[in-house]
Structure 1
Amino acid sequence: MAIYHRDVQYSDESSLNTLEVCIPRPETQTPKAIWVVFIHGGAWRDPAVDSTSFRKTQDLLLQSPQLDQIAGLASINYRLSPYPAHPTDPSNPSDPSRNARHPDHVNDVLAAILYLQEKYHFEDRYILVGHSVGATLAFQVAMKRYWGSQYESTLALELNVFPPIAILGVAGIYDIPALVTHHKDVPEYADFVSNTNGSDPAVWKAVSPTSGDYDESWADGKLVIIAHSHEDELVEWDQAVLMHEALKAQGWVESLKDRQVRLMPLNGKHDMIWEDGTELARAISRAVEKVMEIL
């Protein structure tokens, strides 16, 4: 029977520095089994999207044929950027959990991964999964120095966080300037990007996953799956293509080799991917299968 741990505090930065853990089969762990670690989206700021957004997908994975290969599942909360105009839960300037700026979000994700690695000892044997800006954060973990020289931090190195063996980006944002340009007639896009990353487009580019040098920062990475839906009404398919091309330009290939990149079409709208859970579970199952082929 699965064991669940919820509202686990991984740091004392704020009330949002918590995570959820599920150990599917504590009595019968397969030696090669890996972890799945999920990072939610929500434009870095939406309090209605949190670690619980993974629960429906998790329930589906607990019934999947790939369950024997999954040692544990975790879903991470992190501090959010200000959102004083939120219709039901506006942020308060005095609340440290709702006034984060980049790189606070990714620093929290790193702290959560470190907590999990120290407690469960899985080192790099995990797939880091992110939806929307959760995918942005997942690649920023692999970038290590992920916000340009003027904002450079060595936190990822100081913490001794093991980067993942694989990343699954789902409905992700990978080239922030391209996203804002594509949606130039919708001011909200520039607003939530500036709210988190400042107003300088050069910084937006520097923090974008398409700008990562993964040969240097993620030399041991084995697999990337970029999963996206043509029906996504909030993040365009071009974002997936741009990330796919950026990795291929660095030598990632589509055949079964050490540094493999795959573009995976999904079905459904942006939030339906996790709200229904079926497509997110399908993408994770595919990632687990591919990692098992590599190991």
Structure 2
Amino acid sequence: MTTEKLLTSRTAEYHESPHARYWTDVSYKYGGTRLNLLDICVPKRQPEDPHQAVWLVYIHGGAWRDPLIDRKSFNTALDLLLRDDQPHNIAGFVSLDYRLSPYPSHPTSPSSPHDDSRNVQHPEHMNDVLVALSFLGSSAGEDVGLKKGGAIRLPDTGAITAGRYVLCGHSCGATLAMQAAARLSARNGAIRPPVALSGMEGIYDIAALVATHTHPAYREFVTAAFGQNEETWVTASQLVGKLEKWQGNVLLVQSSSDELVDMEQTDSIVKKLTVQGFTRTSTTSTGNEGKQVLKVVIDCLHDEVWEKGTELAKAIRVVTDNAWISPAKH
């Protein structure tokens, strides 16, 4: 029997700031766990052309298992974006959690074998991302209960159904963003794939990551997330960036000072995308033609991307700009 209290109804918290309106702790999955939650932020200063605007959906990293890196890790970059008075093209932001793989050796918050939120393996992390996107596309304007009583109406996120959103992920969150986009582009479902992707210091070849890094922690977190069978690592990596039918653009950001993920991970996905017909570019100025891939090299430690938020905010500005995404059809 699980120690988790399952979510049996839609609930949320709500507050406002001078810059935005926030719906937090939104449960996106009936019967889900405490990690099947997302936060929504709608800037009060909206894009000039709402028809061309996009939603930004952020997926956190943490090696598929770290309980201390969650959807709130986006908040520093979010604050920077909201305080920037430059024109923007973002209708709203979403940061989501997903169930984690076991981490019984975590120094301060070890996982329990009875905790349903921290005992899953691939493809369940990706499936949670897909469920969250489905919820956002189908529950636009839905009334949800406030935890302190009463109800609040969720914002209109229906543009996600039509594909007017960008998936952005850090580390294994970039893996999940790529996998989700590949899965959505391969099927004709209710939710269309994103209009663009951004991978920040991502993991794109799982077997190569373990082979390159001899520290036992790498094999430990990979087997926790994907199992002992290395063929599963290969098939999970094959899904990453499998985007032959997809017409969007990809921004890949990797730090030359990253102490955890090597540059070869990003180089490998660039090669994989070019084989599928993507064109390498050094600028976003003409990128909205589609199937462009841009690699940007930065200089910071792995977690500084979200801890400081500066590079993450910069990447989001680029990947959501009208110069980089395909225009909406009227």
Q: Offset of 1:288 from its aligned partner?
A: 1.6
Bigger Rg over Cα? 2
Distance (Å, rounded) in 2 between the aligned partners of 1:171 and 1:209: 18
Distance (Å, rounded) in 1 between the aligned partners of 2:246 and 2:120: 30
Contact 1:164 1:221 (8 Å CA) reproduced: no
Contact 1:174 1:210 (8 Å CA) reproduced: no
Which residue of 29, 35, 40 maps to 1:21? 40
- Structure with higher helix content: 1
* AA partner of residue 293 (structure 2): V
Instruction: Using structure 1 for the length normalisation, give the TM-score.
Output: 0.90
Cα shift readout 1:133-156 (whole Å, capped 9, x = no counterpart): 00000011022189xxxxxxxxx8
Which residue of 116, 121, 126 maps to 2:158? 121
Distance (Å, rounded) in 1 between the aligned partners of 2:169 and 2:326: 21
Cα shift readout 1:265-284 (whole Å, capped 9, x = no counterpart): 12200000100000110111
Instruction: Using structure 2 for the length normalisation, give the TM-score.
Output: 0.80
Which residue of 151, 168, 171 maps to 2:201? 171
Moved more, 20-29 or 97-106: 20-29
Q: For 1:68, what is the secondary structure of its paired residue?
A: coil
Q: For 2:295, what is the secondary structure of its paired residue?
A: strand
Moved more, 1-10 or 115-124: 115-124
Cα shift readout 1:52-87 (whole Å, capped 9, x = no counterpart): 000000011112355531000000100010111111
Residue in 2 that maps onto 1:6: 24
Contact 1:17 1:108 (8 Å CA) reproduced: yes
Cα shift readout 1:9-38 (whole Å, capped 9, x = no counterpart): 000321110000100027776321111000
* AA partner of residue 45 (structure 1): R
Contact 1:66 1:289 (8 Å CA) reproduced: no
Contact 1:124 1:163 (8 Å CA) reproduced: yes
Contact 2:168 2:198 (8 Å CA) reproduced: yes
- Indicate yes or no: 2:247 matched with 1:221: yes
Distance (Å, rounded) in 1 between the aligned partners of 2:219 and 2:258: 19
Uncovered stretches (5+) of structure 1, i.e. residues with no partner: 147-155
Uncovered stretches (5+) of structure 2, i.e. residues with no partner: 1-18, 141-156, 282-286
Q: Offset of 1:121 from its aligned partner?
A: 0.8
Which residue of 44, 51, 63 maps to 2:83? 63
Q: State percent identity of aligned pairs.
A: 42
Q: Offset of 1:220 from its aligned partner?
A: 3.6
Residue in 1 that maps onto 2:181: 142
Q: For 1:83, what is the secondary structure of its paired residue?
A: coil
Q: Offset of 1:161 from its aligned partner?
A: 2.5
Which residue of 90, 94, 106 maps to 1:74? 94
Distance (Å, rounded) in 2 between the aligned partners of 1:193 and 1:67: 41
Residue in 2 that maps onto 1:153: none
- Indicate yes or no: 2:125 matched with 1:86: no
Distance (Å, rounded) in 2 between the aligned partners of 1:87 and 1:293: 42
Distance (Å, rounded) in 2 between the aligned partners of 1:22 and 1:273: 20
Contact 2:65 2:100 (8 Å CA) reproduced: yes
* AA partner of residue 61 (structure 1): L
